[in-house]
Structure 1
Amino acid sequence: MIRHLVLFKLNEGVTKDDPRAQAAAQGFEGLDRQIPELLEWQCGWNFSPRDVAYDFALNSLFADEDALKVYATHPAHVAVAEQWRAIATLVVADFEV
């Protein structure tokens, strides 16, 4: 099993209430119903006020690296990833569980 974690830090001048940020977050809604390789899917806005905190996070689970590759190249994922890259920086971690 592969755990896929992504943290998003909104760019300078972009807030959670920005329509682009709201659209990007909404783009993740239902992604697990579009991509059967997603075994678990959790995402949401961070509420921690700490300076080191990121703004949005996603946590997902895949059976193996092949399933993760299918997800990474799926058109629905590619579209929402492009929205996020336009407004935020990302850090990613993939590890075996």
Structure 2
Amino acid sequence: MNEMDEFEFEASEQPEEAFHIEVDLYETGDHSNVLVVPCNDTYIVVSGDEHLCTLQKTCDEPECWEQTDGLVEDELVERLGSAISGYISQL
């Protein structure tokens, strides 16, 4: 028996590398490309050279996202969280 066979490996739902998502940040109809950096169970969201916020998914049903750092409005937290979830579900 191989040592690797002794462990069960589960595919992690969280991406290990940074990724880009498109979100309408200012509700103008123009979508911005933002960088999302996964870090443990949080997601650091960066637009241009500016840290927008750090988000954490707090529940699945209904899907809930909480801002742990930053000052963006709750509506934007929901849009960003939804876009992050959409990206992850495609993996």
**TM-score, scaled relative to structure 2:** 0.29
Higher strand share: 2
Higher helix share: 1
